[in-house]
């Protein structure tokens, strides 16, 4: 795909889910590290600004038959990773016997209600008649569906407790006790920040990788603040925090992710601890100076030929103006600017270039998976003779119809 679309040298990072085949492929065909480089060029330690070309053992279409190509740096989908925290890592909370007893009992009753209403139209009609609404049933392909389903039951139990008792009796399901309703409330309070983080990272608006670290930082802060208020679900908080620390280990030390976040006007340095703000500011100064030097070199040696008049109109530059001081002033002004809208980057050209460089990748592969879902709606059995090019055109038109 890189060769056919001639984007070999343009791809800065590839984001996939956590499937083992993806992880192995990008590990096997990753760009080899330099001999004099002491850092491991692993999947989680790549630098966006050090990206070279992408690897392919096949012939490329642009005539470079003997070129050796390497796969670009690989980034695991943050939304998929958070979903694994919410589904797999939360099982560690069952090590607490009190939590396990309540959790198994409550979730068994919830599953019984979901199964009966989803498999029987008669049961679904009973629920709608008594509650004037339908239950939300979990869906494996929707990462937040389990939380939303439990939260819907919690609201019904708190607002229509008598009607819910009638529903449980009509569907032959054991009614929820007072302690179990309290457990559902605490469970939803713990999982709500995680569900909110998932919505942020898998959205298609403002889907910059710079949202990753501030989202994780805010999520961990909210969970730690919530823990003292819990009576039963405290083990769940510990399990989620442990899963986040394990699956996102080393992310906060990756310079390219830190720069992606601090070049976003919405965050800048606000999300960092005081101990890390100085190093992040120094890294921003360093990259801005490097970018300024490159831009100055290009300006002094333009690719376009000069006209004859350029030799005559030759003016002496102001020697008192230092590019180093100009860049420092731009960085300081940007970091002190109170505006959090993205359009404010127009006033800071050097910061804007760094923003484009480090925020090109997406934090999640969810937008691509939505594109796959659209493809399934187009490539139906009655249209199985579509050519590749025709199918691609129809898919792009369907995905961008809001722009027409």
pLDDT profile of the chain (404 residues), mean per 10: 82 88 88 53 45 39 52 90 93 94 94 93 93 90 88 93 92 92 95 94 88 96 95 94 95 93 94 92 92 78 61 57 76 93 93 93 88 87 88 89 77
Q: Do 74 and 23 contact (CB within 8 A), yes or no?
A: yes
pLDDT value at position 368? Answer: 85
pLDDT value at position 307? Answer: 59
Angle made by CA atoms 168, 130, 120, in degrees to the nearest 5: 65
Q: Cβ–Cβ contacts within 10 Å for residue 150, how many?
A: 20
pLDDT value at position 123? Answer: 93
Rg (CA), the chain: 27
| Rounded distance between C-alpha atoms, residue 255 and residue 282, angstroms | 11
* Greatest pairwise CA separation for the chain in angstroms: 94
pLDDT value at position 304? Answer: 58
Q: What are the E-state strand segments in 247-332?
A: none
pTM over 0.85: no
pLDDT value at position 57? Answer: 39
Q: Do 165 and 175 contact (CB within 8 A), yes or no?
A: yes
The β-bridge partners of 16 are: 76
């Amino acid at each position: 795909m890189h060769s056919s679309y001639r984007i070999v040298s343009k791809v800065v990072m590839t984001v996939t889910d956590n499937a083992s085949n993806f992880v192995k492929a990008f590990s096997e065909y990753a760009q080899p590290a330099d001999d004099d480089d002491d850092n491991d060029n692993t999947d989680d330690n790549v630098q966006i600004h050090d990206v070279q070309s992408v690897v392919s053992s096949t012939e490329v279409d642009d005539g470079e038959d003997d070129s050796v190509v390497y796969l670009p740096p690989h980034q695991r989908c943050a939304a998929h990773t958070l979903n694994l925290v919410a589904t797999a890592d939360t099982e560690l909370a069952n090590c607490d016997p009190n939590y396990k007893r309540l959790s198994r009992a409550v979730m068994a009753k919830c599953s019984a209600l979901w199964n009966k209403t989803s498999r029987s139209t008669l049961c679904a009609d009973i629920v709608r008649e008594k509650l004037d609404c339908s239950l939300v049933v979990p869906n494996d392909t929707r990462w937040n569906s389990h939380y939303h389903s439990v939260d819907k039951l919690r609201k019904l139990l708190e607002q229509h407790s008598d009607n819910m008792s009638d529903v449980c009796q009509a569907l032959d399901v054991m009614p929820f006790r007072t302690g179990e309703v309290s457990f559902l409330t605490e469970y939803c309070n713990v999982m709500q920040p995680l569900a909110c983080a998932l919505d942020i990272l898998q959205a298609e608006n403002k889907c910059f990788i710079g949202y990753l670290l501030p989202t994780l930082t805010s999520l961990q802060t909210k969970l730690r603040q919530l823990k003292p208020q819990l009576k039963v679900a405290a083990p769940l908080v510990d399990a989620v925090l442990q899963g986040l620390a394990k699956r996102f280990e080393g992310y906060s030390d990756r310079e390219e992710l830190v720069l992606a976040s601090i070049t976003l006007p919405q965050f800048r340095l606000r999300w960092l601890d005081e101990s890390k703000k100085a190093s992040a500011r120094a890294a921003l100064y360093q990259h801005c100076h490097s970018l300024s030097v490159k831009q100055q070199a290009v300006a002094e040696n333009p690719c376009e030929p000069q006209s004859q008049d350029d030799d005559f109109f030759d003016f002496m530059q102001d020697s008192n103006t230092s590019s180093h001081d100009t860049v420092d002033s731009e960085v300081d002004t940007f970091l002190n600017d109170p505006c959090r809208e993205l359009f404010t980057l127009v006033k800071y050209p050097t910061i804007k270039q760094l923003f484009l460089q480090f925020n090109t990748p997406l934090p999640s592969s969810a937008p691509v998976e939505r594109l796959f879902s659209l493809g399934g709606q187009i490539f139906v059995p009655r249209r199985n003779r579509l050519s590749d090019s025709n199918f691609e055109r129809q898919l792009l038109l369907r995905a961008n119809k809001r722009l027409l």
